Chain A
């Protein structure tokens, strides 16, 4: 639970609304939480003061410059109050305020509260009103430079890219993030998002397989890139075992004694798929044994924390294989083929 609100953030020379002559015409309204409330927050004097006046302007429906300023104080005390944000927007609209200035303000709030849902929502609405996304890539880039996995920033960025068709330079940006941190799963996801938009042509799939393979060579034990590789093959429409070069690459790593669980898991998937498609009984047996061996390695040594899972994988696979054999035998006995 974060407690980044607060009084300290209001300027030291801050004067309570109750003492301001330019607010003398307004009667503050107290919060009513009824008799015996629970989960009571012991509001500071400032909090109570600001929100008493917020309730007052809400009640009188005052939409003015001073009311706009008041929402700013209220949000400084609690940036998660969506009613205040909503009322702020209603004021902005009523006064026809300069929305570029509002973007400036939001920049500041976001840099103080980069993980606050409400301020990102506010940002989106203002950008929609302006119909101008020209600052959104810069903003999200700057937030992501502090925390490259900030989910809010990625969501806003994807929204801006989708809504305003800003895909053009995104692959370059993603590429840069992946070079900075090859384990950045958010960046890999964004890569997939951009690629899918442009379409998975055979050329793109080949290029991306190479891209992934090169990064696996750098760091083998990186789940993000293995997942990406699986996704590329799958979404490219081909089953993973149809890409012989990928299988060869995995075998090469394995033969070079790489024992990353992600590599072995990938191999298990490839071998299972190949096995279940294999027509030749002997090759099928061999692939089946391979799957069992690989799972056994996971259970005993390479992925012990998931040993029950790998036992489950090998058991389910055996069941499938037996059913397949029984079907084939049945067909043979029926004389159909």
Chain B
């Protein structure tokens, strides 16, 4: 069911609503990352301009639920502040042994805050200082970031999450931005794509992570003009009809976002073929029950549905809101965030002396 040349907005909104509600047991393998599913559903509804599909009481419910996942480390204990991705190890009676395993996870912290902002929360319950300490605590000597204080990988994905968190909270604390940039520059490959870690193969998703992190930290100027042109070439060459993530790999809906957003940040997205891109994305839409998949006639999921809609936003699809490419939230949510940042600044001037609110032209 994929040859319809129009976007089924109401069906996609319903699709997201189902994921906000109840998931079948076969999705238990996503039990540790429920916050990211909430992010795709809420932010997806937002860019569909359908946030009002969520009842006001439910908005409050979601906000309360997210805050329950906030972890704030106690003074003198291992710094692991941030958000958990789920409540799998949460118990009604607090237990010290379990608490030792409750760590914030950068991807969950980033998506939780982005979801809160999108829902219009004032972030007053957010312990911003602790969260930024949690980010700084997982930075490694090579400049990269681990997902959590223990037990997880470190690579370009978490560099992005760290940068997005700091940019959203407008506070870099003791995060070493220069080291972070060094790590990114060392991961640019001979073909000018960026890899997940140093000399790995260049990849569309991690190229986005790298370029967005540089922009969010105000360090895009660390890329030489030659490198920027090389990156544009590598990114532009990913277009087949939709976009692929690596040379000689099949096209996949989500890369309309990863590659598209990277090109947006480099001011080169207008050089792509909008019509081909749009047609591909629409060919992966399920017109019966809503949702997008990575390929035509495949299984839909919230991830590809959200990124498919983002891809359509970049080609100015009517009825879809504009996206702030590097933070990966709607421009509307981003403006709300800027307002909040404006309120924080005067009370805590020492926090913001070195960082300005990101401006997108």
Contact = CB atoms under 8 A, between A and B. Distances in A.
Interface stretch (B19-27, B172-180, B342-350): B19-27
A33 interface: yes
A268 B150 CA distance: 49
Contacts of A87: 101
A83 to B, nearest CB: 5
A41 interface: yes
Nearest to A194: B199
9 contacts: A32-B92, A39-B20, A40-B23, A41-B31, A47-B25, A55-B98, A86-B101, A227-B190, A309-B232
Interface string B233-250: 100110111000011110
A224 interface: yes
Interface in A1-55: 1-7, 29-44, 47, 51, 55
Interface residues of B, number: 75
Given A7-B25, A309-B271, A85 B200 contact: no
Contact of A224 (B27, B203, B247, B301): B247
Decide if the interface of chain A is mainly helix, strand, loop or mixed: helix
B19 to A, nearest CB: 7
Nearest to A234: B190
B25 A37 contact: no
Contact of A82 (B21, B25, B152, B203): B152
Interface in B86-105: 87-92, 95, 97-98, 101, 105
Given A5-B29, A31-B91, A149-B246, A36 B64 contact: yes
B335 interface: no
Interface of A: 1-7, 29-44, 47, 51, 55, 58-61, 77-83, 85-87, 89, 117-118, 120-121, 149, 151, 154-155, 158, 183-186, 189-190, 192-193, 196, 222-224, 227-228, 230-232, 234-235, 265, 305-309, 312
B109 interface: no
A83 B151 contact: yes
Contacts of B301: 1
B148 A82 contact: yes
B132 to A, nearest CB: 22
Interface in B1-51: 19-35, 37-38, 41
Nearest to B36: A39
Given A59-B95, A193-B199, A34 B28 contact: no
A151 B196 contact: yes
Contacts of B191: 227-228, 230-231
A183 B244 CA distance: 14
Contact of A228 (B19, B21, B65, B190): B190
A151 B87 contact: no
B153 A117 contact: yes
Contacts of A186: 201, 246
Query: Which 5 pairs across A and B sit closest by C-beta, in order of nearness?
Result: A231-B190, A1-B301, A5-B29, A86-B151, A227-B191
Contact of B89 (A6, A39, A55, A230): A55
Contacts of A154: 200-201
Interface in B269-290: 270-273, 276
A39 B37 contact: yes
Nearest to B92: A32
A196 B58 CA distance: 55
A193 B191 CA distance: 13
B271 A312 contact: yes
A58 B89 contact: yes
Given A51-B88, A55-B91, A118-B152, 6 more contacts: A1-B302, A30-B91, A82-B105, A184-B248, A235-B190, A305-B276
Given A80-B30, A185-B246, A42 B148 contact: no
B253 to A, nearest CB: 13
A80 B248 CA distance: 29
A82 B151 contact: yes
